[in-house]
Amino acid sequence: MAEKGTPVPAGRAPEAGQPGGVRNVVLVGHSGAGKTTLVEALLAATGTIPRAGRVEDGTTVSDFDEVEIRQQRSVNLTLAPLTRAGVKVNLLDTPGYADFTGDLRAGLRAADAALFTVSAADGVDGLTAMLWEECARAGTPRAVVITKMDHHRGDFDEALAACRGAFGDSVSPLYLPVTGGQGSVRGLIGLLSERFYDYSGGSRAARDPDPGDAGRVAEHRGALIEAIIQESEDESLMDRYLSGEEIEQKVLIDDLEKAVARGSFHPVIPVAATLGVGLEELLELVTQAFPAPAEHPLPAVTTPDGKPVTGLSSDPAGPLLAEVVKTTSDPYVGRISLVRVFSGTLRPDATVHVSGHGRAARGHADHDGDERVGALTSPLGKQQRPVAACPAGDICAVAKLTTAETGDTLSDPARPLLMEPWAMPEPLLPVAVTAKSKADEDKMSQALARLVAEDSTLRLEMNPETHQLVLWCMGEAHADLLLDRISGRYGVAVETVPLRVPLRETVAGKAQGMGRNVKQSGGHGEYGICHIEIEPLPSGGGFEFVDKIVGGVIPRQFIPSVEKGIRAQMEQGVVAGYPMVDIRVTLFDGKAHSVDSSDMAFQKAGRLALKDAAEKAQPQLLEPVDDVSVLIGDDYVGAVMSDLSARRGRVLGTESVPGGRTLVRAEVPELELIRYAIDLRSLSQGTGSFTRKFLRYEPMPAHLAEKVIAEAKSG
């Protein structure tokens, strides 16, 4: 792009306090690609911090959480603002591990453009390629930063080829690295300026490239110019270029910046962050080519009752429209909400209307209500720097919004608005937890409520059948993080327990049984005898009670008592403690006593009769079966189908999906899906996803049923 010191092109000059003076940029890439290191280097290069910290020793601005320092990887969305040439750049550092996709998607929502970081030593992973496709569908402007150019295995050409293979032909380098061997990078050659920006002397100096680089530069420069002209809106440019006319550099730069802002062209910049190489060039790209908030379309907006709202723009004087993109808890300050303002201006002590989507699904009642805004700050990592206001296009932190949660909309109480929620993955790894002591139970519920408010990918469920408290997580790392926070942040001792799948009991055959409840030990006793026959009903048949008593052997007032006792025993099961279903019980004989028979006596007799008959009628366990849809790359279809079969699944079919992917449909027992979120990620190198929904109950294989029954009896 332009050389150092080139002014921002006309029409895009930043204005202080205006949306045109802000760039919101999210960094995307797999764990270890160098996102956090790049943020540190950019902060230091602009004088925002005195020197760059290191991930290895826990001194970075972005990774300040205890877990991040200990694990040496990002697990949270972090805001790191900097200023260059009068433009405020809000860098949003995101986690690169699939378990923390919630924070990544929140960063994509808050940003207007994305920097995809690709390691020169490792290339492109499947998850990054999937996110690129997602951004492409949304029209998000993107650029590629090839990091770790100073790594001993760093190879720019290989990394560029990997990017083109994963992202498409619209990816093209603006600069070429000049290396000195052994992982050293001397500088960059600008393909448009045809200048060598030499960093070997400790600062950036511009001069002509070495003659030996001429052929390489000419090859890439020609391809770049053709790509820019193809993306331009000037049809005469290609004719001029093909006729051999030299296109002015300013024209090329202007067309390049427009194409980048439209999201149709994606420049590549090589960077060696620890050496400072490429940082100035990257900042020029971000401030000059990435769109300002006013140039990026707003998400869909409605009134709280669902009526579409149009005409909103990134105008500080417009009606207030803001969104909570991240919620955290500080032990001293309390709840802190990271808020992106899309329209209007957010001010301290103002009253805002809070509207939210899907809180019931996260274990809360839906709410709409007004709340007073606390102090506003501009976060820099864990630092909270006070600000007087947050205008449209900017991002700030708001203290003590007690009801607003991640994904909620803030608006003017006189004009309530609701933003369309961003797409969030479904948590599909269940983890059952319990408090270690009675004293921890109350504290655990409070801690979990706070975690659910912070993390929109966490779902909390109290299973009414198994009576287990279940955390639905994104994966093992996500579960470990949540358990760490429960114990570390909130001081609650919890432990995980084996997850119980809600089974059912039934019978496979027909049999008779007797319930004899006779207790006479002086005084008023108990007397109730009943004979029943039990037989199976078709799946989903529920329960039928048939009265065939004749001659009054059981008085009419006690026949409902027998049924009541049978139903009560069905809830408790007869062989493994699970509810009984799909049976018909026929009451055909019995005996009563004129004094000792009672409602309770015949309830107990009904219970005993069901136990006796069921044990003779080939008792059977039923397990829930889910309808499962697995979306994977074509390369993994065979492995996934084999794995589903090994899980006792029935593969129903496959269908092709655009983008080189396949949808596999299958029916799989729930018992086999407990760890499927982890195993599918391993099978598909992090690119697979699946959905599940309950389908029906089916008989469990005998060898598994025997094991469950044995465990129930021993327990």
pLDDT at 8 over 80: no
pLDDT-derived band at 202, boundaries 50, 70, 90: confident
Range 301-323 average pLDDT: 92
* Residue closest to 596 by CA, chosen among 539, 649, 522, 654: 522
31 SS3 class: coil
Domain boundary among 247, 280, 295: 295
HSE value, Cβ hemisphere, 13 Å, CA-based, for 525: 11
pLDDT at 614 over 90: yes
> Is residue 246 in some structural domain?
yes
3-state helix, strand, coil in the chain (%, to 5): 30, 30, 35
Question: What CATH number does the domain containing 61 carry?
Answer: 3.40.50.300
Beta bridge partners of 113: 25
> Is residue 6 in some structural domain?
no
For the chain, give the number of residues.
715
**Do residue 241 and residue 320 come from a single domain?**
no
HSE value, Cβ hemisphere, 13 Å, CA-based, for 314: 27
HSE value, Cβ hemisphere, 13 Å, CA-based, for 273: 26
Range 36-59 average pLDDT: 90
pLDDT at 16 over 50: no
Question: What CATH number does the domain containing 437 carry?
Answer: 3.30.70.870
**Do residue 182 and residue 275 come from a single domain?**
yes
pLDDT at 644 over 70: yes
Beta bridge partners of 578: none
**Do residue 107 and residue 186 come from a single domain?**
yes
**Do residue 451 and residue 567 come from a single domain?**
no
pLDDT at 434 over 50: yes
* Residue closest to 339 by CA, chosen among 419, 398, 424: 398
**Do residue 266 and residue 322 come from a single domain?**
no
Q: What is the dihedral of CA 205, 210, 216, 218, to 10 degrees?
A: 80
Indicate the burial class of 712 (C-beta count within 10 angstroms; 0-12, 13-18, 19 or more).
middle
* Residue closest to 681 by CA, chosen among 503, 506, 425: 425
Q: Where is average pLDDT lowest: 26-40, 180-194, 370-384, 666-680?
A: 180-194
Question: What CATH number does the domain containing 657 carry?
Answer: 3.30.70.240
**Do residue 391 and residue 277 come from a single domain?**
no
**Do residue 476 and residue 534 come from a single domain?**
no
Q: Are 186 and 198 in contact (CB under 8 A)?
A: yes
Q: Which residue matches tokens 């009134």?
A: 303
DSSP per position, 652-692: EEEEEETTTEEEEEEEEEGGGGTTHHHHHHHHTTT--EEEE
pLDDT at 101 over 90: no
Q: Which pLDDT score is estimated for 181?
A: 67
* Residue closest to 619 by CA, chosen among 577, 668, 563, 648: 577
* Residue closest to 558 by CA, chosen among 524, 511, 526: 526
Cα 642 from Cα 663, distance rounded (Å): 15
> Is residue 398 in some structural domain?
yes
Range 623-644 average pLDDT: 95
Question: What CATH number does the domain containing 579 carry?
Answer: 3.30.230.10
pLDDT at 53 over 90: no
> Is residue 90 in some structural domain?
yes
How far are the Cα atoms of 25, 196, 455, 648 from residue 76, in angstroms, in the given order? 16, 38, 10, 37
Cα 394 from Cα 111, distance rounded (Å): 10
Tens of pLDDT, residue by residue over 370-421, are 999 989 999 998 888 999 999 999 999 998 888 888 889 999 999 999 999 8
Q: Are 99 and 477 in contact (CB under 8 A)?
A: yes
Range 669-677 average pLDDT: 96
Cα 287 from Cα 37, distance rounded (Å): 20
Task: Say how many domains are in the chain.
Answer: 5
**Do residue 465 and residue 360 come from a single domain?**
no
Q: Where is average pLDDT lowest: 221-235, 282-296, 539-553, 636-650?
A: 221-235
For helices 214-231 and 235-242, what crossing angle results, to 10°? Answer: 150
Q: Which residues of 162-263 form beta strands (DSSP E)? A: 171-173, 175-181, 184-190, 195-198, 205-207
Reading the block at residue 437, the tokens are 């002591």
311: left (phi over 0), alpha (psi -120 to 50) or beta: left
Range 106-115 average pLDDT: 94
Query: What's the start-to-end Cα distance of the chain, in Å?
Result: 71
Q: Which pLDDT score is estimated for 343?
A: 96
**Do residue 443 and residue 574 come from a single domain?**
no
How far are the Cα atoms of 301, 318, 701 from residue 416, in angstroms, in the given order? 10, 13, 55
pLDDT at 215 over 60: yes
Q: Where is average pLDDT lowest: 76-90, 441-455, 503-517?
A: 441-455
Indicate the burial class of 421 (C-beta count within 10 angstroms; 0-12, 13-18, 19 or more).
middle
Domain boundary among 497, 530, 547: 497
pLDDT at 490 over 50: yes
Cα 371 from Cα 346, distance rounded (Å): 13
Q: Are 684 and 704 in contact (CB under 8 A)?
A: no
Cα 514 from Cα 630, distance rounded (Å): 49
**Do residue 314 and residue 233 come from a single domain?**
no
Classify strands 390-391 and 345-346 as parallel, antiparallel or unpaired.
antiparallel
- Exposure b/e, 253-274, CB count within 10 A at least 16 = b: bbbbbbbbbebebbbbbbbbbb
Q: What is the mean pLDDT of the chain?
A: 89
> Is residue 11 in some structural domain?
no
Element (H, E) at 88: strand 87-93
Q: Which pLDDT score is estimated for 52?
A: 87
Q: Which pLDDT score is estimated for 183?
A: 66
* Residue closest to 430 by CA, chosen among 492, 500, 364: 500
> Is residue 575 in some structural domain?
yes
Q: Which pLDDT score is estimated for 471?
A: 95
> Is residue 663 in some structural domain?
yes
Reading the block at residue 166, the tokens are 């994963």
Q: Are 124 and 32 in contact (CB under 8 A)?
A: no
Q: Are 622 and 698 in contact (CB under 8 A)?
A: yes
590: left (phi over 0), alpha (psi -120 to 50) or beta: left
> Is residue 9 in some structural domain?
no
Q: Which pLDDT score is estimated for 711?
A: 85
Q: Where is average pLDDT lowest: 82-91, 396-405, 568-577, 660-669?
A: 396-405
Cα 576 from Cα 615, distance rounded (Å): 12
103 SS3 class: helix
590 or 521: which leads in pLDDT: 590
DSSP per position, 322-356: EEEEEEEEETTTEEEEEEEEEESEE-TT-EEEEE-
Q: Which pLDDT score is estimated for 507?
A: 95
Cα angle value 542/548/554 (rounded, 5°): 110
Reading the block at residue 263, the tokens are 């999201």
pLDDT at 1 over 80: no
**How far, rounded to the nearest angstrom, does the alpha carbon of residue 554 sit from its chain's CA centroid?**
61
**Do residue 481 and residue 522 come from a single domain?**
no
**Do residue 248 and residue 175 come from a single domain?**
yes
What residue numbers bound the domain in which 551 lies? 504-617
Domain boundary among 295, 310, 326: 295
Question: What CATH number does the domain containing 380 carry?
Answer: 2.40.30.10
397 SS3 class: strand
